């Protein structure tokens, strides 16, 4: 699909649940999200049908996200079926990593082409603060140690790993050089994602990517831009002297990244959204359950893709205009 600004739309992010086993300060309300009856969520069958339709429209890369995708039962089996859809060439997952070891056990082999693990700090106390978990909430090597074990396991399986870190003033600025240092000895990518003013992220102070870059350069030396391709998204990648892996920046707010946006987003309840900052989208669940044919679904998806805005409107939020994004990233899938 090509939208009215000439952008090729070939990437779909699918949220398979709004629920999560963490309550990150920038994403979820402290009390969690309202319980959604199972019937309100798309079944895996329904998602697979939509993916087959969208593959016919040129979607060839899929990201599984949430909420925390690994809290939904049967997600490994779903991914295995997703991979068999003709035209789907790449399936990746974004997770907080807590259940990733179990996912690898269940998968019994390599079933994803990449794993993004969201991790904002290596310090156990700050991990509790950012994720709103009580210190000691995880016993028997679970929690942060389990995430780090899963990271190593992914690497030993040969799965490309990206670590996503959201720098937040007053929470994890002291950890940023340490997070970057994971890429010193490990061949993975550490990405710093600018805090976006969505949901509870609206009340926190971002640390702009340029500031993080300057901090890393003071500690590790000058960064050299990396021109190779490392993903499907808007990140810019760099090499630090002596590092085995790469450092990435997604400066979504300070620089914008919409010019080359290639994606659509499917919420767990079946709303297809044209943009991260969209308030509404196309209700595909009603179409699916109302007996729509594949041709009807194709037409609906194409219509929605045609509505993709030229850019997100986060800056409007920063400028204290009226726009307020009530819904956190757990709903949109990041
Ligand atoms: N639970 C999974 C995880 O944490 O990776 C997948 C869903 S989560 C919503 C996807 C990504 O969105 C995570 O990397 C998270 O850090 C990011 N995110 C959530 N809220 C954000 C915000 N307000 N600004 C920037 N990134 C945010
Ligand atoms: Fe859960 Fe991911 Fe949101 Fe954290 S960022 S609360 S792990 S959905």
Could you state, in chain order, the average pLDDT of each consecutive group of 10 residues for the chain (334 residues)? 90 96 93 86 98 98 97 98 98 98 96 98 95 86 95 98 97 96 97 90 92 97 90 87 96 78 94 84 97 98 89 53 55 72
Å from CA of 331 to ligand 1 middle: 10
- Residue 73 CB neighbour total at 10 angstroms: 10
Q: Does the Cβ of 116 fall within 6 Å of ligand 2? A: no
Which residue's CA is the closest to the ligand 1 atom numbered 13?
118
Looking at residue 199, what is its pLDDT? Answer: 79
Mutate to test the pocket of ligand 1, among 94, 200, 257, 331 (most ligand atoms within 8 A of CB): 94
- Given CA atoms 194, 196, 200, 202 in this order, what sign does their dihedral have? positive
Which of 118, 169, 250, 330 best tests ligand 1's pocket when mutated (most atoms within 8 Å of CB)? 118
User: Is there an atom of ligand 2 within 6 Å of 165 CB?
Assistant: no
Contact 310, 258 (CB under 8 A): yes
Helix (H) or strand (E) holding 114: strand 114-118
Task: Go through the chain and tell me how many residues it has.
Answer: 334
- Whose CA is closest to atom 4 on ligand 2? 24
What local confidence, expressed as pLDDT, does residue 212 receive? 98
Q: Whole-prediction pTM value?
A: 0.94
pLDDT at res. 318 = 42
User: 265: CA distance to ligand 1 center in Å?
Assistant: 14
Does ligand 2 lie within 6 Å of residue 67's CB atom? yes
Q: Which residues form the pocket of ligand 1, taking CB atoms under 6 Å from any ligand atom?
A: 20, 26-27, 65-66, 68, 94-96, 118, 164, 166, 193, 195-196, 198, 201, 329-330, 333-334
Residue 141's alpha-carbon distances to 95, 267, 306, 323, in angstroms, are 18, 32, 48, 43
According to the 3-state scheme, what is the secondary structure of the chain?
Answer: CECCCCCECCEEEEECCCCCCCCCCCCCCCCCCCCCCHHHCCCHHHHHHHHHHHHCCCCCEEEEECCCHHHCCCHHHHHHHHCCCCCCCEEEEEECCCCHHHHHHHHCCCCCCEEEEECCCCCHHHHHHHHCCCCCCCCCCCCHHHHHHHHHHHHHCCCCEEEEECCECCCCHHHHHHHHHHHHHCCCEEEEECCCCCHHHHHCCECCHHHHHHHHHHHHCCCEEECCCCCCCCCEEEECCCCCCEEEEECCCCCCCHHHCCEEEECCCCEEECCCCCCCCEEHHHHHHCCCCHHHHHHHHHHHHHCCCCCCCHHHHHCCCCCCCCCCHHHHCC
Q: Which residue carries 């960064």 as its tokens?
A: 223
């Amino acid at each position: 699909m090509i939208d009215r600004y000439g952008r090729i739309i070939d990437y779909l992010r699918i949220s398979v649940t709004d629920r999560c086993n963490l309550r990150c300060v920038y994403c979820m309300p402290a009390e969690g999200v309202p319980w959604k009856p199972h019937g309100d969520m798309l079944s895996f069958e329904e998602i697979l049908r939509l993916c087959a339709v969208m593959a016919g429209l040129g979607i060839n890369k899929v990201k599984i996200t949430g909420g925390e995708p690994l809290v939904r039962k049967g997600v490994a089996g779903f991914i295995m079926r997703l991979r068999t859809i003709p035209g789907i060439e790449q399936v990746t997952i974004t997770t907080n990593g807590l259940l990733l070891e179990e996912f690898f056990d269940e998968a019994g082999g390599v079933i994803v082409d990449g794993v993004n693990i969201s991790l904002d700090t290596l310090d156990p106390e700050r991990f509790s603060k950012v994720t709103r978990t009580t210190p000691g909430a995880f016993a028997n090597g679970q929690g942060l140690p389990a995430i780090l074990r899963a990271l190593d396991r992914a690497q030993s399986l040969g799965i490309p790993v990206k670590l996503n870190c959201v720098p937040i003033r007053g929470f994890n600025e002291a950890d940023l050089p340490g997070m970057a240092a994971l890429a010193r000895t490990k061949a993975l990518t550490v990405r710093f994602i600018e805090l976006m003013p969505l949901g509870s992220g609206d009340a926190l102070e971002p640390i702009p990517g340029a500031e993080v870059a300057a901090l890393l350069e003071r500690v590790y030396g000058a960064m050299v831009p990396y021109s190779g391709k490392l993903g499907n998204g808007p990140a810019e990648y760099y090499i630090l002297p002596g590092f085995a892996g790469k450092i990435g920046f997604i400066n979504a707010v300070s620089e914008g990244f919409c010019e080359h946006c290639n994606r659509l987003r499917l919420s767990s309840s079946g709303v297809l959204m044209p943009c991260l900052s969209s308030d509404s989208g196309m209700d595909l669940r009603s179409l699916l359950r109302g007996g729509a044919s594949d041709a009807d679904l194709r037409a609906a998806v194409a219509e929605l893709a045609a509505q993709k805005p030229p850019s997100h409107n986060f800056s409007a939020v920063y400028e204290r205009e009226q726009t307020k994004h009530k819904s956190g990233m757990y709903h949109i899938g990041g």
